Structure 1
Amino acid sequence: MVKKVVLMVLDSLGVGELPDAESYGDKGADTLGHIASEYPRLHIPNLRQIGFGNVPGAAGGKFAVEHPVGCFGKLKEMSKGKDTITGHWEIAGLYTQQPFKTYPDGFPQAFIEKFEAAIGRKVLGNYAASGTVIIDELGPEHEATGMPIVYTSADSVFQIAADTSVIPLEALYHICEIAREMLTGEWSCGRVIARPYIRKDGKRVRTSDRRDYAVSPSGVTMLDHISATGREVYAVGKIRDIFNGQGITQAVHTENNMDGVDKTIQAVKQDFDGLIFTNLVDFDSKYGHRRDPEGYGKAIEEFDRRLPELIAAMGSEDILILCADHGNDPTHSGWDHTREHVPVVAFGAPIKEGENLRIRDTFADIGATVCELFDAEQTAIGRSFWKEIKR
């Protein structure tokens, strides 16, 4: 009997290019492998012990151990794309056949004009950019005029940045809600993201008050199936935003990775049966997109140091599953996600040791497994690996 499944997405921690990576401009991408090359002191003893280094091909086997105590494998992405929503939805059992529409040259002028009319302000930017870079470039003009900064990336996103002393947080959120209502049909977009920042010590610093406004899932997910059994689906971090609340029974906001770990541990200690679904976003937002392999490596080490605390909080009927949702190779060109395999590592008293799950065809094998664990209806895609890892 399984009481809780703790499913943690180490956002963007890919483990090597997918066969079709070249068609996405990502030939040679390898997030973990290149972090290990650029930050050779990478020290992750606890992740190694549970089998993270034994994931097939991960960092060329540099972190493999002889007797891992967990089960391990890697997953291909079946869906088209390499963005946050596509990856998370596939983990939860949805196949995205048509990639979300992207705007590499900025959003159409006709949309921008209607958006400006709707919010009563002109906007700045409207091009693909790194968030920290565009805030530094356009921040002075925004602060002088009150015009919000809008930008996009290789993902299907419409991001709106503002100094909260110029546009207060609730006003920024309202502007994003207007954009979310407008970005449908011919102007469809996967996510609208509020990007508030403050000025501190002469620098412009993004705050943890980011908020994502996503489209609703295209179908029924693992979350719906589990909550339908009467169990909890407890979302930590941006999971609630990614699924637009669908299938989620409780949700908590997080400030950063370590706050995400703290709140996951708090949830583990609560008395309920069900899924705790956590996203640790800093790997992606602070280090992958900013092309900082050393910072990324240190963030992995920071998580590794917390892993024993998380495991100690788990009961004899609890299972931990670690995975990712895409890659974001910090040595790759540009500043966007990379099309990669993702790791899957499972650990807990109900799980046998050292099982190699090899390379699997879809992220959705995770959702199928979690549904089987809770005797819930199966996801539309995915093949459960529960029988392979069950002790």
Structure 2
Amino acid sequence: MARAFLIVLDSVGCGGAPDAHSFFNGDLPDTGANTLGHIIAQHGLRVPNLDALGLGAAVRLSTGIETPGLDAEPQGLWGAAREVSRGKDTPSGHWELAGLPVPWEWTYFPDASPAFPPEVTAALCRAAGTDGILCNGHSNGIKVIEDFGEEHLKTGWPICYTSADSVLQIAAHEAAFGRERLLDMCREVAPLLHDMRVGRVIARPFVGACKADFKRTQNRRDFAITPPEPVLTNWVQDAGGKVHSVGKIGDIFSMSGIDTSVKGRDADLMAALDGLAASAGQGDFVFANLVEFDTDYGHRRDVAGYAAALERFDLWLGQFLPRLGMGDLLVLTADHGNDPSWPGTDHTREQVPVLVCGAGKGEIGICGFTDVAASIAAHLGAKANGTGRSFL
């Protein structure tokens, strides 16, 4: 029995979702969105290690476009995965990659002011111990602290906002409001939001003395709904293996089926994966969400920054691959798209690449997100109770 590593490259989509017309950025449907394809076309991309595993081939398979500079003959299994959950968000993508399509419709808050119903606003005020909240509308995490950060410091009121995702985010100053107070607030209101089928409550601490130097810290914390059925992490534990999460995986799954969890900056997470390649035992599963491509570049519509981040990841990948042992399986994929060239700031509905090292080479074709879970379970000898089929 060997080991398995699943690395989710957050938001690295490859276009081609057949239902993209049903998902929107503002009034514009996501039809034609293609995170990787548009980065390649508009900026170029030098990722030889990813390309050798089949990245360029996956983009061509998904959308039929040319991929200049990404034309290597794949040395691994490669394909593109299609999601069935009715969402283009973090929990939907990760749950389905772990074998569980979301079994309900998420609740989304309207793009209006106020966005939150009175009972939610009242609960937020009680949890914060304040007479009110700031924003109470749609925004992104950078703009919202620019718009409300100084008022937050004056009033002490938390900044509460949402987006096109099923989420309620709370931004507060780490020192003036208090990081633990922020986490306690999120922890207190999360059950109410989960009962409403809102996927996550996210703590977004920031620092700085004024608008000019406000910046978010790495101490983000997600309070997500626990998956209502066993998923890949549970299957592996039931088979006797340990599950190690890297990045925000532990939060996304509410630590269900997870033995160890490491969080931190990108460099910390990459170092953790290097360490797990040396220390993880036979039958273990390492589940990682590596690099916040969407938070740092996709939502900001920064094509050049996104390309540079992918190239930095590729350099690390070239050093990581030799750390894998005989019989180890590595799967690289994504949870949704976030085309940095697309109008608006939201995620984009796309298919995602699936690149596999350690299982020979060849074309997988178009598969399902749940097939990723079924394949890893098959490799580890775990009993899958999901709907996917192994492509190994």
TM-score of the two chains, using structure 1 as the length reference: 0.93
Query: Partner of 1:34 in structure 2?
Result: 38
- The Cα offsets for residues 81-136 of structure 1, whole Å up to 9 and x where unpaired, read as 11100100000110224331110331112320232123311210111111100110
Whichever residue aligns with residue 203 of structure 2, its letter is: A
Secondary structure of the 2:279 match is coil
Query: Partner of 1:229 in structure 2?
Result: 239
Q: Are 1:320 and 2:330 counterparts? A: yes
Q: Are 1:142 and 2:152 counterparts? A: yes
Q: Distance in 2 between the 1:227 and 1:200 partners?
A: 46
Secondary structure of the 2:222 match is strand
Q: Give the conservation status (yes or no) of the 8 Å contact 2:52–2:72.
A: no
Q: For structure 1, which segment, 83-92 or 246-255, has the greater mean C-alpha deviation from structure 2 after superposition? A: 246-255
Secondary structure of the 1:294 match is helix
Secondary structure of the 2:7 match is strand
Query: Partner of 1:12 in structure 2?
Result: 11
Query: Partner of 2:390 in structure 1?
Result: 384
Q: Distance in 1 between the 2:197 and 2:387 partners?
A: 25
Task: State percent identity of aligned pairs.
Answer: 40
Q: Distance in 2 between the 1:290 and 1:127 partners?
A: 18
CA drift at 1:288:
0.8
Whichever residue aligns with residue 323 of structure 2, its letter is: A
Q: Are 1:90 and 2:96 counterparts? A: yes
Query: Partner of 1:329 in structure 2?
Result: 339
Query: Partner of 1:44 in structure 2?
Result: 47
Q: Distance in 2 between the 1:299 and 1:200 partners?
A: 29
Whichever residue aligns with residue 391 of structure 2, its letter is: F
- The Cα offsets for residues 37-65 of structure 1, whole Å up to 9 and x where unpaired, read as 2212x211111112111111466333543
CA drift at 1:182:
2.2
Whichever residue aligns with residue 303 of structure 2, its letter is: P
Alignment partner of 2:127 out of 118, 121, 126: 118
Q: Distance in 1 between the 2:156 and 2:185 partners?
A: 13
Query: Partner of 1:132 in structure 2?
Result: 142
Q: 5+ residue gaps in structure 2?
A: 25-29
Equivalent residue pairs, number: 378
CA drift at 1:280:
1.5
Q: Give the conservation status (yes or no) of the 8 Å contact 1:287–1:330.
A: yes
Q: Give the conservation status (yes or no) of the 8 Å contact 2:202–2:220.
A: yes
CA drift at 1:66:
4.7
Aligned ranges for residues 254-269 of structure 1 at < 5 Å?
Answer: 254-256=264-266, 258-269=267-278
Aligned ranges for residues 1-391 of structure 1 at < 5 Å?
Answer: 1=1, 3-25=2-24, 26-40=30-44, 42-55=45-58, 56-57=61-62, 60-105=66-111, 106-121=115-130, 122-185=132-195, 187-199=196-208, 202-256=212-266, 258-273=267-282, 274-348=284-358, 351-353=359-361, 355-360=362-367, 362-386=368-392
Q: Give the conservation status (yes or no) of the 8 Å contact 2:244–2:260.
A: yes
Q: Distance in 2 between the 1:101 and 1:35 partners?
A: 31
Q: Give the conservation status (yes or no) of the 8 Å contact 2:16–2:62.
A: no
Q: Distance in 2 between the 1:114 and 1:301 partners?
A: 44
Q: Distance in 2 between the 1:179 and 1:140 partners?
A: 24
TM-score of the two chains, using structure 2 as the length reference: 0.93
Whichever residue aligns with residue 40 of structure 2, its letter is: A
Query: Partner of 2:27 in structure 1?
Result: none
Q: Distance in 2 between the 1:85 and 1:13 partners?
A: 15
Q: 1:281 to 1:215 in 2, by over 3 A?
A: farther
Q: 5+ residue gaps in structure 1?
A: 387-391
CA drift at 1:313:
1.2
Q: Distance in 1 between the 2:255 and 2:150 partners?
A: 36
Q: Give the conservation status (yes or no) of the 8 Å contact 1:92–1:379.
A: no
Q: Give the conservation status (yes or no) of the 8 Å contact 2:116–2:136.
A: yes
CA drift at 1:309:
1.2
Q: Distance in 2 between the 1:97 and 1:21 partners?
A: 20
Secondary structure of the 2:346 match is coil
Whichever residue aligns with residue 304 of structure 1, its letter is: D
Q: 1:33 to 1:343 in 2, by over 3 A?
A: same
Query: Partner of 1:389 in structure 2?
Result: none
Whichever residue aligns with residue 183 of structure 2, its letter is: Y
Whichever residue aligns with residue 86 of structure 1, its letter is: S
Query: After TM superposition, where is structure 1 displaced by more than 2 Å over at least 4 residues in a row?
Result: 57-67
Q: For structure 1, which segment, 113-122 or 319-328, has the greater mean C-alpha deviation from structure 2 after superposition? A: 113-122
Q: 1:230 to 1:357 in 2, by over 3 A?
A: same
